[in-house]
Amino acid sequence: MKVIICGAGQVGWQIARHLSGERNDVTVVDNDPELVRRATDTLDVQGVSGFASYPDILEKAGARDAEMVIAATYSDEVNMVTCQVAHSVFAVPRKIARLRSQSYLTAIYSDLYRRDHLPIDVVISPEREVAEAALRRLSAPAAFDTETFLDGEAHLMGLTIDEECPVVNTPLRQLTDLFSTLRSIVVGVRRDGSLFAPEAGDQLFVGDSCYVVVHRDDVARTLEIFGKSNHKQERVVVVGGGNVGLTVARQLESGRDRVRVKMIERDRTIAEKAAEGLERTIVLHGDGLDAALLAEAGIERSDAVLCVTDDDKVNMLAAVRAKAAGCPMTMALVNDPTMIELMDPLGIDAYINPRATTVSSILRHIRHGRVQSVYSIGDAEAEVIQAEVLSTSSMAGRAIRDIEFPEGVLVGAVRKGDQVLKPKGGLRLDAGDLIVLFALSKDVPEVERLLQVSIDFF
């Protein structure tokens, strides 16, 4: 597939890395020559320097025979015009745009993106994606990372192993024997900063962070086995009243659980706007790092604090201060992936990386046919992939133990018809089955090859 990616920042670069690794013909466009050079030097892609919305730049990038344009520059307007030019001048079949301004996303204007108006096939809103990710984290407070697959029937949970964990120092093979009916698989472990796919004889140690794929009905039991409580969130403090904070507060106050929300916002204008847009949320004007203001918000009685300002350092420090004041669960929005390694030493329970969330969202809309969903883990260290087994794939008709998966790949769940099963070695994969796979980044191309049409088909 020939793809043009407009914008070579973190999101554009990660998308280019994913697609070029799958042997797609990728061209990256950016008006910053240094970003283009970085992409062409580190990835198997072509690069064009210039404004993506200019027809001559798009033509130079090969828009006349491109199958897809992904507009992910920093400007909403450039992204929109790029899609319009790609459609009107070059008839590019599929166009994806990242739009940040809430005004462009309001439901009343949804007709704006029809083909006879602004022809954008998929609109990605980073703020909405991040807000949804934050709400998922709040729904599973014991997990530092969460995502759902197979229409919500399979959950990916990131769990930290601590001294209270009953299964610490226990080989994973023994866990399977002890809890034979538990539909739960440990697919990834991060130890001493290194992420790997565990083998049956591996043990979990205190300090490990593990990724578990678990059936929806077995989430509570899995948390109990790992020594985690699934405490219901009743009081939440949101630090930051921008688009993300506002969306989260709206969802929380309109949800079935009727969560009580208090918000802290430093900018008076934004605080007033948030107060007008929310019904039951108490909005406090001031600095989220102010201990007195946190106390006024009742931080010591809160179940969770969500720090979502536009400053990573403020988010992290506000989370640390809230933790010190007695808040049991702290969550921070962190754009810089190099900051993530500081989460554990600082005692921050969970984080949200907007770039990783946006990349996962875009990949979900890019993949066709066999790959239906992709979730990026950490700093693009691994992926969790939901895919359909094709009749022509080398996996079809074979037991899991007989498939030559790379060392960094594990099957987390299998759906046959309407039944989600725990993947055991003897389970046979058939055409039409849906599988959830954990794969280290270096092994993703091999996973793609396994999911493709077998050479025997030709």
pLDDT per residue, tens digit, the chain (458 aa), is 899 999 998 889 888 987 887 678 999 999 999 999 999 999 999 999 999 999 999 999 999 999 999 999 999 999 999 999 999 999 999 999 999 887 887 755 667 777 777 888 888 888 888 888 888 878 777 888 888 899 889 999 999 898 888 888 889 988 888 888 889 999 999 998 899 999 989 999 998 999 999 998 998 889 888 988 767 778 999 999 998 899 899 888 887 777 899 999 999 999 999 999 898 899 999 999 999 999 999 999 999 999 999 899 999 999 999 999 999 999 999 988 788 888 888 989 888 888 878 887 787 777 544 777 888 887 678 889 998 888 888 888 999 999 989 999 999 999 998 899 999 889 999 999 999 999 998 888 788 788 775 444 32
Q: In this structure, what CATH number is given to the domain that contains residue 310?
A: 3.40.50.720
- Judge contact between 308 and 236, C-beta under 8 A: no
**CB neighbours (10 Å) of residue 293?**
17
Position 406 in a domain: yes
Residues 348 and 441 in one domain: no
Residue 230 within any structural domain of the chain: no
**Is residue 325 domain-shared with residue 374, that is, in the same domain?**
no
Domain holding 161: CATH number? Answer: 3.30.70.1450
Same domain, 303 and 385: no
In a domain, 414, yes or no: yes
Segments forming the whole domain that contains residue 371: 360-457
Picking from 95, 124, 153, the residue at the C-terminal end of a domain is: 124
Q: Are 118 and 168 within one domain? A: no
- My answer on whether 8 and 84 are in the same domain is yes
Q: Specify whether 11 is located in the same domain as 115.
A: yes
Domain count, the chain: 4
Residue 166 lies in a domain: yes
d(CA 397, CA 393): 9
User: Among 184, 203, 225, which residue terminates a domain?
Assistant: 225
- CA-to-CA separations, 175 to 43, 179, 228, 413, in angstroms, rounded: 41, 6, 16, 17
Whole-number Å distance between alpha carbons of 372 and 364: 6
Evaluate whether residue 426 is within a structural domain.
yes
Give per-residue pLDDT as tens, 170-224.
899 888 888 888 899 999 999 988 999 999 899 999 989 999 999 989 988 898 8
pLDDT computed for residue 457 by the predictor = 36
pLDDT of 458 = 29
Largest CA distance in the chain: 71
Q: Of how many residues is the chain composed?
A: 458
Q: Which of 225, 251, 276 is the last residue of a domain?
A: 225
Task: Tell whether 41 and 86 lie within a shared domain.
Answer: yes
Residue 8: inside a domain:
yes
Name 276's Cβ contacts closer than 8 Å, sequence gap at least 6. Answer: none
Q: How far is CA 313 from CA 47, 141, 204, 248, 341, in A?
A: 33, 22, 31, 20, 13
User: What pLDDT does residue 198 have?
Assistant: 94
pLDDT of residue 454: 47
**Residues 310, 424 within the same domain:** no
Alpha helices in 5-107 (DSSP H): 10-21, 33-42, 55-60, 76-88
Asked if residue 376 and residue 323 are part of one domain, the reply reads: no
* Same domain as 77, residue 41: yes
Q: Write out pLDDT tens, residues 434-448.
A: 999 999 988 887 887
Answer yes or no: do 34 and 116 share one domain: yes
Q: Which of 115, 212, 189 is nearest to 440 (CA)?
A: 189
Residue 14 within any structural domain of the chain: yes
> Do 332 and 364 sit in the same domain of this protein?
no
